[in-house]
Amino acid sequence: MSAEDFRRYGHQVVEWIADYLSHPERYPVLSQNKPDQLKEALPSKAPERGETMEAMLADLDRVIVPGMTHWNHPGFFAYFATSGSAPGILGEMLSAAFNVNAMLWRTSPSATELEEVTLEWLRQMIGLPDEFKGVIYDTASISTLCAIAAAREAAGLQVREQGLGATGAKLRMYASEHVHSSVDKSAITLGIGQAGLRKIPSDGEYRMDSRALEQAIQEDRANGWQPFCVVATTGTTSTTSIDPVPAIADICGREGLWLHVDAAYGGSAAVVPEMRWVLEGSDRADSLVVNPHKGLFVPVDLSVLYCRKMNVLRGAFSLVPEYLRTGEGEEVKNFMDYGPQLGRRFRALKFWFVMRYFGVEGLQDRLRLQIALAREFAGCVDQSDDFERLAPVPFSVVCFRAHPKSLSDEADLDTLNERLMDEVNRRGRVYLSHTKLAGKLTLRLAIGNIRTTREHVKLAWDELNEGLVRIRG
């Protein structure tokens, strides 16, 4: 493509994006595509000859957009909302343009050092001690996988050299019953197995019961298991509950276990001084994951693993073949040494743009607003005769369900709430997802999109109330 054409189409694409971002509400937030709709709209083979950009851009509107679920839509309240903030998008465009592979310091010193600089800024912003150093991965699932690989390395069994089977050890790790499925997947991937992950019961507010943890560890030791790691969660996926990290850190200290804190969602809130408490005890963790692509307005993907023993993480993964040897010594970081992947994108650039554009205060203001809006919504639920709240609201996610006074059968309530969620989502103005709490189908309203205002939260409340009237006839 000539520079002239690049400029022309580049301007068109930027215009398209600016237009899209200023009116995401013109689309239904949840895609209304049927399965295979996109596949049927496109040829089954790649074109033999190149096509025009005009044709591709036309298909963007015709084929791609209808099949998008619009995470940029201010009515997106499902899962954990993310934000493609404008400075983040511009940073992403530039990193696509540079297209560096940041595997070694010398394959792009700026990418490596900007990663160190931005993660040092974030470390200070969330109040972790300065022994923690960071590394960027794509997702929290991979951050946690790498952390648990480091924990396995720290167990001193030489699993890396011999393989787990040859060591004969029965390794066991612990997490609450509300832990994210990525921890189960780490156990599967690392050869710990699902049997090697023991789920600890939680209390009435969905927080890990630390006494049950302690008992489980003793019991396991007596039965020939080798405990090696505990994963505590700050902001669990269903309810955003916070495990008692200080008590868990005490146990890990006494028992010599690696403590990994999954703060993928909850860690971002610690940027707000009055929310710092959510990371209480995490200063004693061995590793902690936080996802700027969830809470800090950075486009997907960007997850950060902080580790206070980077040498252990490195020991788990570093392997340098001749063709990757460089003359730089220990003064530089080669990020390929800290995970299974060699090639790495230049993700720090978009994060740097976001932090500089909003500033720490700008980020704090937006996070505070989201927390305030969630509390207001929780207040509406609490005052309503037709709805009830099902969990505390420490962050900006509200767990609730419709519960009209005339209904008491749990199965009927589940059916009602499932129908209500489908009804509201089908209308396309807001999108909510669900979970199960104590066997009850629970609706979740997760506020996290940078474009969501009080109006949109009010709209969600109206849609729910009107939807309830419609489905109850």
Ligand X SMILES: *Cc1c(COP(=O)(O)O)cnc(C)c1O
Residue with tokens 């990371």: 279
CB under 6 A: which stretch of 61-69, 260-268, 361-369, 404-412 binds ligand X? 260-268
Measured in Å, how far apart are the chain's first and last C-alpha atoms? 59
The interface mask with ligand X, positions 324-363, x = CB under 6 A, is ----------------------------------------
Number of residues that bind ligand X (CB under 6 A): 15
Q: In terms of CB distance, is 112 or 237 closer to ligand X?
A: 237
Tell how many helices (H) and how many strands (E) occur in the chain. Answer: 16, 11
Q: Which of 81, 90, 135, 140 binds ligand X (CB under 6 A)?
A: 140
Is residue 264 close enough to count as binding ligand X by CB under 6 A? yes
d(CA 128, CA 279): 8
Which residues make beta-bridge pairs with 174?
198, 230
Residue 458, Cα to own-chain centre: how many angstroms? 26
Going from the C-alpha of 275 to that of each of 122, 303, 329, 454, the distances in angstroms are 15, 20, 40, 21
d(CA 440, CA 356): 43
Of the candidates 354, 353, 404, 399, the one whose C-alpha atom is nearest the C-alpha of residue 374 is 399
Q: Which value, to the nearest 10 degrees, does the dihedral of the CA atoms of residues 243, 249, 251, 256 take? A: 130
Is residue 118 close enough to count as binding ligand X by CB under 6 A? no
Is residue 468 close enough to count as binding ligand X by CB under 6 A? no
Q: In terms of CB distance, is 241 or 384 closer to ligand X?
A: 241
Q: Which of 228, 265, 346, 377 binds ligand X (CB under 6 A)?
A: 265
Task: With H, G, I as helix, E, B as strand and everything else as coil, classify residue 436.
Answer: strand
The interface mask with ligand X, positions 199-238, x = CB under 6 A, is ----------------------------------x-x-x-
From the CB of 422, what's the least distance to ligand X, in Å?
24
CB atoms within 10 A of CB 185: 15
Q: Which of 27, 80, 105, 351 binds ligand X (CB under 6 A)?
A: 80
Q: Which of 72, 82, 107, 139 binds ligand X (CB under 6 A)?
A: 139
Q: In terms of CB distance, is 294 or 403 closer to ligand X?
A: 294
Two tokens, residue 84: 């493609």
Q: In terms of CB distance, is 235 or 467 closer to ligand X?
A: 235
Site of interaction with ligand X (CB under 6 A)? 80, 139-141, 180, 182, 233, 235, 237, 262, 264-265, 291, 294, 303
